[in-house]
Amino acid sequence: MRRAVIIFTAVLGFLLTSLGLGATSALADGESLQGTLVNGSQPVAGVVIKVSDESGGPIGQVTSGADGKWSVPVKSAGTYKVDLDTTTLPQGVTLTNNRPSLTLTVFEGAARNVLFPLGAAAGTGEKKPQVAGTSTFDRVSGLVYTGIHLGLIIALAALGLSLIFGTMGLTNFAHGELVTFGALGCFLLNVTIGLPLVVSAILAVVLGGAVGWFQDKIFWGWLRNRRTGLIGMMIISIGVALVFRYLYLYLFSGDTRQYAEYVAQPGIDLGPIAVAPKNLVMDVVAIVVLILVSLALTMTRLGKATRAVSTNPSLAAASGISVDAIIRLVWTIGGALAALSGVMLGLFQGVNYQMGFQILLLVFAAVTLGGLGTAFGALVGSLVIGLATQLSTLWIPTELKNVGALVVLIVIILFRPQGILGRRERIG
Amino acid sequence: MNWDIIFGVSLESLFNTTMIAYALAAIGLNVHFGYTGLLNFGQSAFLGVAAYGLAMTVATFGAPFWLGIVIGLAGAVVLALLLGIPTLRLRADYLAIVTIAAAEIVRLLFRSVSLSEWTGGSDGLQSFSDDFYKLNPYSSPLKIGIVDFDPRELWVMTIGWALIGISLLIVFLAMRSPWGRVIKAIREDEDAVRSLGKNVVSYKMQSLILGGVLGSLGGFIFALSRAAVQPDTYGTEFTFYMYTIVILGGAARVFGPVVGSMIFWFLLAFINAVLPAAITQGYIPTWLMTPTQAGAVGYILVGAGLVLLLIYRPQGIFGDRKEVMLDGR
C-alpha cells in the first residue's frame, strides 16, 4: 500500500512540474461581448465586427487582433446584435454556418462569448476545420494528430475503467461522471476561485482520486460486502451516474463553459500540422502518466497484486493479497486518471455537465475493443477509437464521427469478441 | 399552492399517454431483461426506429398511415436482427455495451444534418398523425373531478390501453407456453439449456424480436401523442427510465411493467409539479433551488430510487427475488 501511495504521489508530482507553463489570463470585467476568431487553430486578424443594440443603434466596432481576439464592452445587460463583416475576412476563409449576424443576450456582469465558426472556403460545415487551403495530406495528418490526442484522453479514462472491471468485475456506467468531476472541479478552482489553471488541474486530479477512494470506501466496498450481484451493481452504477450527472446540472447549469486560460491558443507549425502548445503539453502529460501507470502495473509488487486480483480474486486472496485494499487503490487511481482525462477534455471541447457521459460510450468502445479488463488492451483500444473517430470524418460528416467509432466497435466484436488483446475465453 | 392542479396532474399520469408509452416499452424490456436475462440497454432504439419508421413513411414519403405502422414494426424486427447477430453470443456486460452503442448510433443517425432531408435533423418530423386523429370518435373532453383529458389524448389513451391489454396477453400466453419455459431457463442457466439440445441463440433472438416489437408499440404511442418525433427524446435516459420501471414493478412479472410505470410517473409528475409550485410560493428558498433546477431534481431522485431499489428490493413490488437476473459474469 505504501508503495502505491509513493507511486501515486510521484505521478502527481510529475503532473505538477510538467504542467508548469506561464499563464495568460484575459478575463473581462463588466458586461461585454467578446470572442476569438480562429480558423482551424490559426487566429484570424483584421476582421471587422460591429455591435449594435436591439433598436439598431451602434454601440461599437472593433477589429480582431493578431491573436484573433476581439471584445466590445457594453453598458448594461440586454440583447445585442453582433455583425461580422464578411468582406473583411481573409482570402479563402468563410463563415461555415453562413450566419454573419447574431442576436445575443448579455447577462448581468458577464462577458458573453460570441462564436463565429470560420473555416476554409470550400469547407462543408466541419466542426474543427483544419488550416485553410489544406491538401489531403495536411488534412489527414491533422486528423491523425487530433485522433491521437482524443485517443489519449480516452485512454486515461479507459485505463481506470478497465482496471475496475478487471479487479471487481463491475462495468461502471458512472465512470463518465468521474471524468466530468475532473473538468468541473478544475473549472470551479480555475474560474470561480481564480487559481491558475495548472494548479487547479492538479488539485482536480487529487480530488478525483479522493472521490474514487471515497466512493469505494462508502459505497462499492459496502456493496461488495453485501455480495450484490455483478449485474445488479452494473444497474446500480447507472443510477449512480444519473444522480451525479443531474447533481452537476443542478449545481453547474446546462451551459458549456471554458476555463479562464489557454482557451484559444494560437497554434505552432509542426511540419504538416499546426498544434496549440497546450495540446502538446497535455499529450506529453498523458503519455507519461500512462507509461508510469503501465510500468507500475508490470514492475511493482502492487501492480503484480493488481493483476493477480484481475486474473483470479479468490486465488489472490488465498495467497495473501488484500483484495479489498487493491480494489480501493484501483478506484483511487481510476478516479484520478478519469479526472485528468476530464481536465484535458475540458480544455479540448469546453466544460459541460454531460461531457463525461458523452465520452463514456467511446471509453466503453475502447475498453471493449481492447478486451474488457486488460489494461494494455484499453490503451490500444483507445488509440484505435480516437483515430477511428477523427479519420472517419474523411468519409462521413463530422457530426457522425462517433457513429464511425461505435460501428468499428460492433464490427470488431463480430469478428473478435474478446477484443484485440483479450484472452480467448468463453464470453458467450 | 394549488393542490388541485398538482394532484390532478399526478393522477392523470396514472393513465396518460406518456405512462402508456413507457409501460409498453417496459413490457418489451421485461421480455428481454426479466424473462430472458438479456441486458438490452438499447430499448430506446426500438421505440425510435418504430416512431421514425411511421413518421418518415407518412411525413417524408407521403405514404398512407397504415403503411407507416407496418414499416415501423418491420424496422423494429430488422433492428432486433441487426442488434442480435453480433451480440447475442456475448456475455451480459458486452451485450449491454454494444446495445447502448447501437442505440446511440440510431439516435445520432436520426439527428444527423446530412440525413435531415428525410429525418428532419434535430428538429424531427411533424404532421404524420392527421390520419390517426381523423378516426377520433371522441368530440368532448373528459372531466372527472380534478382529472382532465382532451379528446385527442383520450383517443391515444384508448388505443394505448388496448395495446397494453394485447401485449400483456401475448406476454402471459408466451411465458406460459413451452417457448416461455425455455426462455426462462436460458435466464437461469444457458449452458443447461444448450445441453438439452436447444438453440439458445435462436431463442434469444426470438425474445429480442418479441420484446422489440412490443416496445415499438410504445414508440408509436409516444410519437402519436406528441404528433411529432424528435431524435433526442430517444436517448439512453429513456432506456434507463424503462429499467427503473421494470425493476420497480417487478421483473419477470406480467403486470410488473404497467404497475411500475403507473407508480413511476405518478411520483415523477407529482415531484415535477410540486417543486416549481413550492418555489414560486416561497416554501423553497431560491438560493436552494430555482425552477430550472427543479427539473434536475426529478432525475436525481430517479437515479437514487434505482440505486435504493436494487440494493434493498431488487425484486420490486411484485417480483420474486430468485427470478431477477442480477448475478453472473
pLDDT in tens, A310-350: 888 889 999 999 999 999 999 999 999 999 999 999 998 88
Nine cell digits for residue A44? 484570424
CB B237 within 8 A of CB B305: no
At residue A121, does pLDDT exceed 60? no
Would you say residue B68 lies in a domain? yes
CB A417 within 8 A of CB B94: yes
Nine cell digits for residue B87? 451480440
CB–CB of B109 and A413 under 8 A?
Answer: no
Report the predicted TM-score, pTM, of the whole model to 2 decimal places: 0.80
pLDDT at position B93, please? 77
CATH 1.10.3470-classified regions of chain A: 2-19+138-415
- Cα A126 from Cα A146, distance rounded (Å): 14
CB–CB of B299 and A242 under 8 A?
Answer: yes
pLDDT at position A64, please? 75
Nine cell digits for residue B321? 427475488
Average pLDDT, chain B: 90
Terminal Cα distance for chain B, rounded: 50
Instruction: Show Cβ contacts of residue B100 under 8 Å, excluding neighbours closer than 6 positions.
Output: A361, A364, B41, B42, B236, B239
Mean pLDDT for the stretch of residues A167-188 = 93
Look at the block and give the residue holding cell 475465453.
A425
Instruction: Tell me what percent of the residues of chain B surpass a pLDDT of 70.
Output: 98
A2-19+138-415, which class in CATH? mainly alpha
Nine cell digits for residue A388? 477511428
Look at the block and give the residue holding cell 413490488.
B317
Chain A positions in Cβ-Cβ contact with residue B284 (cut-off 8 Å): none
Average pLDDT, chain A: 80
**Residue that wins the pLDDT comparison between B61 and A63:** B61
Look at the block and give the residue holding cell 480562429.
A38
pLDDT at position A315, please? 92
The CA-based dihedral angle spanning residues A222, A317, A300, A177, taken in that order and rounded to the nearest 10 degrees: -20
Integer Rg of chain B from CA: 20
CB–CB of A410 and B98 under 8 A?
Answer: yes
Would you say residue B224 lies in a domain? yes
User: Min CA distance, A169 vs chain B (Å)?
Assistant: 8
Chain A positions in Cβ-Cβ contact with residue B289 (cut-off 8 Å): 250
Secondary structure of chain B in the HEC alphabet?
CCHHHHHHHHHHCCCCHHHHHHHHHHHHHHHHHHHHCCCCCCHHHHHHHHHHHHHHHHHHCCCCHHHHHHHHHHHHHHHHHHHHHHHCCCCHHHHHHHHHHHHHHHHHHHHCHHHHHHHCHHHCEECCCHHHHHCCCCCCCEEECCEEECHHHHHHHHHHHHHHHHHHHHHHHHHHCHHHHHHHHHHHCHHHHHHCCCCHHHHHHHHHHHHHHHHHHHHHHHHHHHCEECHHHHCHHHHHHHHHHHHHHCCCCCCHHHHHHHHHHHHHHHHHHHHHHHHHCCCCCCCCCCHHHHHHHHHHHHHHHHHHHHHHCCCCCCCCHHHCCCCCC
pLDDT-based confidence at residue A116 (cuts at 50, 70, 90)? confident
Would you say residue B305 lies in a domain? no
At residue B329, does pLDDT exceed 60? no
At residue A97, does pLDDT exceed 80? no
At residue B249, does pLDDT exceed 90? yes
At residue A234, does pLDDT exceed 60? yes
Would you say residue B106 lies in a domain? yes
CB B205 within 8 A of CB B84: yes
> pLDDT by residue (tens digit) across B155-167?
999 999 999 999 9
Longest dimension (CA), chain A: 79
CB–CB of A400 and B114 under 8 A?
Answer: yes
Which of A172, A235, A311, A423 should one mutate to test binding to chain B, selecting the residue with the greatest count of B CBs within 10 A?
A: A235
Would you say residue B10 lies in a domain? yes
> pLDDT by residue (tens digit) across A357-401?
889 989 988 988 887 777 788 888 999 999 989 888 888 888 888
Number of domains chain B contains: 1
**Residue that wins the pLDDT comparison between B287 and B313:** B313
- Cα B40 from Cα A234, distance rounded (Å): 13
Closest residue of chain A to B296, computed from CA coordinates = A246
pLDDT at position B321, please? 81
Look at the block and give the residue holding cell 453472473.
B328
The H helix count followed by the E strand count for chain A is 13, 13
Of B86, B289, B311, the CB nearest to A228: B311
Range of the domain at B194: 3-232
Whole-complex ipTM:
0.89
Q: Does A311 touch chain B (CB under 8 A)?
A: no
Of B297, B311, B325, the CB nearest to A231: B325
- Cα B145 from Cα B32, distance rounded (Å): 39
- Cα B184 from Cα B181, distance rounded (Å): 5
Which of A170, A228, A246, A416 should one mutate to test binding to chain B, selecting the residue with the greatest count of B CBs within 10 A?
A: A246
Fold (topology level) of A32-134? Immunoglobulin-like (2.60.40)
At residue A18, does pLDDT exceed 60? no
Other C-beta atoms lying within 10 Å of the C-beta of residue B7: 17
pLDDT at position A42, please? 64
Would you say residue B164 lies in a domain? yes
CB–CB of B98 and A413 under 8 A?
Answer: yes
- Cα B97 from Cα A178, distance rounded (Å): 18
CATH 2.60.40.10-classified regions of chain A: 32-134
Of B39, B92, B108, the CB nearest to A400: B108
Would you say residue B287 lies in a domain? no
Closest residue of chain A to B329, computed from CA coordinates = A230
Least Cα distance to A414 among B241, B26, B87, B209 occurs for: B87
- Cα A207 from Cα B80, distance rounded (Å): 43
pLDDT at position B165, please? 97
- Cα B45 from Cα B236, distance rounded (Å): 9
Terminal Cα distance for chain A, rounded: 36
Would you say residue B294 lies in a domain? no
